[in-house]
Amino acid sequence: MTGAYRLNRRTALHLAAGVAATGPLLVAIGRRPHAQTLDKMSIQTDWRAQAEHGGYYQAIATGLYRKAGIECDVRQGGPSLNISQLLMAGRVDMTMSGSFEAFTFVRENAPFFTIASIFQKDPQVLIGYPDTGFDSFEKLKGRPILIGAGGRVTYWPYLRKKYGLSDSQLRPYNYSLAPFLADKELIQQGFLSSEPYPITQALGRPPSVLLIADSGYQPYQNTIAISRRMVEEKKDLVQRFVDATLEGWAQYLKGGPAIEAANAMIKQANPEQTDDRIAYAIKVLNERGIVMSGDALQGGIGAMTDQRWKEFYDSMVAVGVLPPGLDVARTHTLEFVNKGIGKS
């Protein structure tokens, strides 16, 4: 299986990467009251520890998993790690995934699907200089754009068709800010909670940032993928895990002293994550409704709907990104979400 349809920026760094070893972050949580052992569950994240994974660490730090009778093993992603292969090989119970992976499972008749979506909006962005008139998707026309391999087979075909863009505008993107900082005419891809922060520091002012989701491009992201067999055999355990995770996200997004322990875990696992970077990430995740918008406004954190899955699929078939004839119903189940967790 390849990651050709993977939307997530992290995996787009290594679309053809195979399985490689990485150091797991294992957090053993003590014992559940009145129980001899805790049920063990493992989840593989899509990149190194960061605020975009904060709800999982919050559920560990505050004992939400322990209260649910679970010992949670959160394993960091990183370069050269194909997390979908880890899931398919049975080396991890769940992965942080996205809509494209779910369709790839269906296309390849693999027995895995999506049980929750933490992000209602994909955090992919396009970034430009603030004083060059780049303030809408219509202004992309004729501008050179730095987009990596993953973006070229996911959101770019959608933008190209909707706004009359051309492949001749594309330039290679090597995940360095240097080319962008050296050329005011360039537009570059990024992640809402990542690249705009160091660019702001370098320029001394915020760049212009367009959230691709605002163009109508609507995949689910930061989803939880799992095997159908585990859902069939351990349904109660899966529900307990999902509920604790969603409550962890509800707490984490509120910020403040209550998330200091979770942030300490993130910084210990990934020293590149400093307090200011984490605070920035939480701020923009909230401001742009990455978690709390769309389906989550009614169904709570993690919410999904059959209609949105179908609409996204149809939009990707229309631009040739996904093949016609896939059974959309096999990409997901709504059994474990839409229970109102995190609604204010």
Q: What is the token pair recorded at 189?
A: 């891809």
pLDDT reading at 21 higher than 90: no
How many Å apart are CA 126 and CA 140, to the nearest integer? 9
Residue with more model confidence, 10 or 159: 159
Tens digit of each residue's pLDDT (9 = 90 or more) over 60-99? 999 999 999 999 999 999 887 899 999 999 999 999 999 9
Query: Residue range 337-341: average pLDDT?
Result: 97
- Give the pLDDT confidence of 177-194 residue by residue, as tens digits: 999 999 999 999 999 999
Q: What is the mean pLDDT of the chain?
A: 91
Calpha distance 291→302 (Å, rounded)? 8
What DSSP assignment string belongs to 54-72? HHHHHHHHTTHHHHTTEEE
User: What is the CATH architecture assignment of 124-215?
Assistant: 3-Layer(aba) Sandwich (3.40)
Looking only at the bridges linking them, the beta strands covering 145-146 and 187-191 are parallel
| One fold for 9-121+219-331 and 124-215 | yes
pLDDT at 78: 86
* pLDDT per residue as tens digits for the range 216-244: 999 999 999 999 999 999 999 999 999 99
Continuous H helices in the chain = 9-12, 54-61, 64-67, 83-88, 99-107, 149-152, 155-163, 178-182, 196-203, 228-233, 235-252, 260-269, 275-287, 296-299, 306-318
Looking up tokens 């918008």, which residue turns up? 293
What is the per-residue DSSP string for 197-213? Answer: HHHHHHHTSPPEEEEGG
- pTM score: 0.88
- If you ran DSSP here, which 8-state letter would residue 115 be given? E
Domain ranges of the chain: 9-121+219-331, 124-215
- The model's confidence at residue 18, banded by pLDDT at 50, 70 and 90, is very low
The CATH number for 9-121+219-331, chosen from 3.10.450.50, 3.40.190.10, 2.40.160.20, 3.40.50.11900, is 3.40.190.10
